[in-house]
Each structure stands twice: as C-alpha cells, then as structure tokens.
C-alpha cells in the first residue's frame, strides 16, 4: 500500500532529522528525502500506475508527508542557527566596562574641579575671572590692602619672603588690587588661585593651598547685596538652600567685616562633631571693601562701594569629597588623584 510506505518513509526521515548532529548532516537528510531524486520524489513516479481514486489519496498523503518533513527540517535548522549564534555570542563578547587599551585617561585635580565649577557660576553672574602673579610685590600683597606694617601676617613666620623684597602671595587679594587698578568701577571679578603661607604642615595646615576671592564694586552696594550673592553662591556649591548667619569679623581690607557661617549640613543645627557641637560652620570671611583700599587702587570711595569675600577652595574640596588630610592635595600621589 503506497500510503503506508509514504508514512514509513516519513517516520524514518523524521528520526534522521532528529538525530542529525550538524547542519551538514541535516542537509544530507534533506537531499535524501526531499531532493529532486529523493525518496519522496520516487513515490510520484509510481503514481502513474495507480487507479485515479487511489492516486488522489496517495497524492494527499505524499503532500502531507512533504509538508510535515519540510517544517521538521526548518525547525531543526532554526535550532542549529540559534545554537551557532549562542556559540558566537559566547566566544566573541567584549567587556565594554574594561579600560580601553593605550594610555589611561587622566582626570582633573579635585581642587580644579571645584574651581572650574565656581568659575562657571560666577561667569553666569557677570563676574570676570582674573589671574595674576604668584610672586608679588609687598605693595600689592599688603600695603594696598590696608594691612599695616605691624600686622602679624607680614611676619617671617607667615610669609615666604624672597630676596629682593618680593614674596609668594599669601592670598589672591593682590589679583583683585590689580583688577581694580586696571578695570576701574563698576566691576565684578573673582580671583581663584594658589597661595602660600609659611605654615607648620599637618593634616589641616599646608604651605600651599587654593583660594577664591571675589569682589563687586558699584554704586550703593550694601551688605544686603553681599548676602544675596553669598547665598546664591552657597546654594550652588552645596546644591540646596543653606541657612547663614553673619558675625562681626576683623580684616584690615573690609569695613564692616564679617564671618559668614552656614548652619551645619551634617546635623542641621543641634550640634555634631563636624560643627564642634555649635550647629554652625565658619565658611566665608567677607565684608564691604574698606574706603582706604578703594582709594589706593584709584576708586573714589565717596562715589563707589563694594563687597568682597574669601573662600577656601582647598577646604571646600575637603568638605565636598570628605577628604580629612590636606597634605594629599599637593602630594602628587596617583592613588589619591585617580579617585577623581
């Protein structure tokens, strides 16, 4: 019986498809069974000898076998394709999180990062960013700032004096003196940079550190303007509203002078180790520019006034990144630097 034979061939072929262990083996089965000279094709030849009603039934069986085998073949082929793809994915994957070959990319020093962020902020508020020499004259570092010759900052203990009377600047104020001389009023400027003091070095004292001073000179500048700018600045630095208070503070170049404190960001007021149980952290000396300082740099204090402030960039970086030893900043230790 032809239909029975077709069924037998189909079952045998199905088993061979299942058993095929490679794409090549599978293809060989396909040629044997479904090919032009394959076993199914042989059946068609035998159809001529059949009676018409038998032929119809046999044809139906043959088509069914062909369809079943073709889809079995396709299914097996898909399994091989998936297997091959999985093998490639396993063999050829690359870890994109690995460092690229070649020299390792560097990173900016943490103080530089804080400095650049503040430069962007002040630029957006209309301040010019000024630079100046690290070797200064006694006049620009002290006299022009109303710092009298008897002031302790002038002592050998505090200042690196150079032979010939110049010195390593002890603050970036002389950059602002030069700014006032050159720009004239009205003006808004900041002076970020490296400063030097003859300190006994320990975990919280360095001979070399970074400051950012700023100043605005215009008509009718008051403590209210100063407070507005300081609060804007501090919210940007700490990325949230901060509560501030002003205490009187003495600096020869401002009058009145203040210490600006912020409410402790760790405990929020009640007191903790960071704020030494006071609830406040001293952050920014500031004040209205002393009339003598304006006058010495060619600005008429009867017409113009200004506020000025100082900010320790190194100290700010320590607060931001939780660094507890100031000596790390100038150490050049790559294990430290690579963390930023």
Q: How far is the CB of 235 from ligand 2NL (least distance, A)?
A: 20
- Other Cβ atoms less than 10 A from the Cβ of 138: the count is 17
**How many alpha carbons fall within 13 Å on the CB side of residue 274?**
19
Contact call for residue 285 and ligand 2NL (CB under 6 A):
yes
Instruction: Output the six-digit token pair for 275.
Output: 């704020």
Residue range at the interface with ligand 2NL (CB under 6 A); choices 34-42, 57-65, 101-109, 282-290 = 282-290
Candidates 178, 163, 162, 169; CA nearest to 141 is 169
Q: How far is the CB of 123 from ligand 2NL (least distance, A)?
A: 19
Question: In the complex with ligand 2NL, which residue's Cβ is closer, 26 or 177?
Answer: 177
Question: In the complex with ligand 2NL, which residue's Cβ is closer, 147 or 328?
Answer: 147
Instruction: Output the six-digit token pair for 92.
Output: 């050829």
Question: In the complex with ligand 2NL, which residue's Cβ is closer, 26 or 299?
Answer: 299
How far apart are the C-alpha atoms of 152 and 160, rounded to whole Å? 13
Contact call for residue 216 and ligand 2NL (CB under 6 A):
no
Task: Return the CA Rg of the chain.
Answer: 42
How far apart are the C-alpha atoms of 172 and 115, rounded to whole Å? 14
Among 29, 221, 254, 313, binds ligand 2NL (CB under 6 A): 254
Residues in contact with ligand 2NL, counted by CB under 6 A, come to a total of 18
Question: Looking at beta carbons, which residue is closest to ligand 2NL?
Answer: 310
Among 127, 210, 251, 304, binds ligand 2NL (CB under 6 A): 251
Contact call for residue 213 and ligand 2NL (CB under 6 A):
yes
Among 10, 141, 159, 173, binds ligand 2NL (CB under 6 A): 173
Q: How far is the CB of 93 from ligand 2NL (least distance, A)?
A: 55
Instruction: State phi, psi for 64 to the nearest 5 degrees.
Output: -60, -45
Q: Which of residues 113-152 bind ligand 2NL (CB under 6 A)?
A: 145
The answer to whether the beta carbons of residues 171 and 213 sit under 8 Å apart is yes
Residue range at the interface with ligand 2NL (CB under 6 A); choices 13-21, 120-128, 239-247, 307-315 = 307-315
Positive or negative CA dihedral for 333, 330, 113, 231? positive
Candidates 276, 244, 243; CA nearest to 260 is 244
Question: CA 152, 158, 162, 168: dihedral to nearest 10 degrees?
Answer: -110
Contact call for residue 286 and ligand 2NL (CB under 6 A):
yes
Instruction: State phi, psi for 158 to the nearest 5 degrees.
Output: -105, -25
How far apart are the C-alpha atoms of 54 and 276, rounded to whole Å? 105
Q: How far is the CB of 340 from ligand 2NL (least distance, A)?
A: 25
How far apart are the C-alpha atoms of 167 and 183, rounded to whole Å? 24
Contact call for residue 253 and ligand 2NL (CB under 6 A):
yes
Among 30, 140, 154, 171, binds ligand 2NL (CB under 6 A): 171
Instruction: Output the six-digit token pair for 140.
Output: 């620009």
Among 73, 210, 309, 329, binds ligand 2NL (CB under 6 A): 309
Q: Which residues contact ligand 2NL by CB under 6 A?
A: 145, 171, 173, 176-177, 213, 215, 251, 253-254, 285-287, 289, 293, 308-310
């Amino acid at each position: 019986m032809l239909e029975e034979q077709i069924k037998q061939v189909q079952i045998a072929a199905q088993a061979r498809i299942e058993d095929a262990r490679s794409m090549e083996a599978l293809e060989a089965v396909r040629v044997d069974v479904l090919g032009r000279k394959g076993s199914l094709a042989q059946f068609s030849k035998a159809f001529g000898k059949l009676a018409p009603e038998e032929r119809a039934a046999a044809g139906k069986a043959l088509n069914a076998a062909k369809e079943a085998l073709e889809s079995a073949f396709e299914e097996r082929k898909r399994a091989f394709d998936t297997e091959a793809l999985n093998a490639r994915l396993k063999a050829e994957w690359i870890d994109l999180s690995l460092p690229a070959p070649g020299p390792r990319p560097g990173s900016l020093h943490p103080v530089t990062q804080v400095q650049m962020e503040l430069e962007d902020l002040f630029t957006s508020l209309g301040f010019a960013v000024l630079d100046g020499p690290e070797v200064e004259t006694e006049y620009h570092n002290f006299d022009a700032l109303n710092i009298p010759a008897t002031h302790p900052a002038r002592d050998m203990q505090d200042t690196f004096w150079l032979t010939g009377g110049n010195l390593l600047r002890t603050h970036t104020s002389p950059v602002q003196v030069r700014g006032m001389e050159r720009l004239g009023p009205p003006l808004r400027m900041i002076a970020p940079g490296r400063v030097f003091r003859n300190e006994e070095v320990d975990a919280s004292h360095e001979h070399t550190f970074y400051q950012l001073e700023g100043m605005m000179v215009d008509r009718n500048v008051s403590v209210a303007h100063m407070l507005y700018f300081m609060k804007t600045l501090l919210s940007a630095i700490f990325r949230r509203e901060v509560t501030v208070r002003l205490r009187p503070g003495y600096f020869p170049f401002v009058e009145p002078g203040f210490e600006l404190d912020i409410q402790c960001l760790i405990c929020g007021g009640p007191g903790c180790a960071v704020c030494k149980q006071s609830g406040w952290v001293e952050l920014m000396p500031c004040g209205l520019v002393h009339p003598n300082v304006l006058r010495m740099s060619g600005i008429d204090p009867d017409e113009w006034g200004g506020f000025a402030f100082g900010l320790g960039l190194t100290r700010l970086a320590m607060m931001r990144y939780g660094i507890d030893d100031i000596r790390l900043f100038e150490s050049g230790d790559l294990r430290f630097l690579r963390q930023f």
